[in-house]
Structure 1
């Protein structure tokens, strides 16, 4: 298979494979919800040649987390901010873990 082969894209988490209608159905929400989280810039779907929105699996997971928070009573703007902060925390933890692995170990025999 080549990179241009559609089958090879099935494992690509970032490939925009889902239409707005399909994405809304998969999430059990409305197209209006997807537009609202786009307005808050939580996700930015790809626009197909005809202007139709296309979503990736990664974007659907983000949207699902926002929907979970909204379903719990969190206002949509706050839910989107929470999701962004959660993502930033995960990235900071990843960077910290990477730094911890590459940092020189402390010298236990050094004078205190």
Structure 2
């Protein structure tokens, strides 16, 4: 299967997980430096995909995660701790979403009184 490219259609830009942004543009969008993006990558908060030329590419989802880490760092939180906090927040949000889905499914399957 050939690697995906940015020219495979406009729908890609609606995809939160599509790696559409270069490191420079991504850093600019979240008000950070390329070094900050490298640091959150090294901390394993986000893992950018690589272009055919080896350049980092970021998705909108990854930029939201990195922006949250930047907020925490700007408030004085060490970068490693900020990354861990963001991971835990993301896990909590996912668990709450799944819990809500299970509650909804249970309510749909419950017999009426």
TM-score by length of 2: 0.85
The residue that corresponds to 1:98 in the other structure is 101
Structure (1 or 2) with the larger CA radius of gyration? 1
Q: Report the Cα distance in structure 1 between the residues aligned to 2:79 and 2:69, rounded to whole angstroms.
A: 7
Count of paired positions: 105
- List, as ranges, runs of 4+ consecutive aligned residues in structure 1 with deviation greater than 6 Å: none
Q: 1:107–1:69: structure 2 CA closer, same or farther, 3 Å change rule?
A: same
The residue that corresponds to 1:42 in the other structure is 45
The residue that corresponds to 2:3 in the other structure is none
Matched, 1:60 2:63: yes
Q: Report the Cα distance in structure 2 between the residues aligned to 1:105 and 1:62, rounded to whole angstroms.
A: 37
The 5 Å alignment of 1:1-112 reads: 5-103=8-106, 104-105=109-110
1:69-107, CA deviations, whole angstroms, 9 ceiling, x for partnerless residues? 000000000000000000100111111111111225489
Q: Report the Cα distance in structure 1 between the residues aligned to 2:68 and 2:29, rounded to whole angstroms.
A: 13
Q: 1:5–1:82: structure 2 CA closer, same or farther, 3 Å change rule?
A: same
Deviation at 1:16, TM superposition (A): 0.6
Q: Report the Cα distance in structure 1 between the residues aligned to 2:103 and 2:45, rounded to whole angstroms.
A: 30
Q: Helix, strand or coil: the match of 2:57?
A: strand
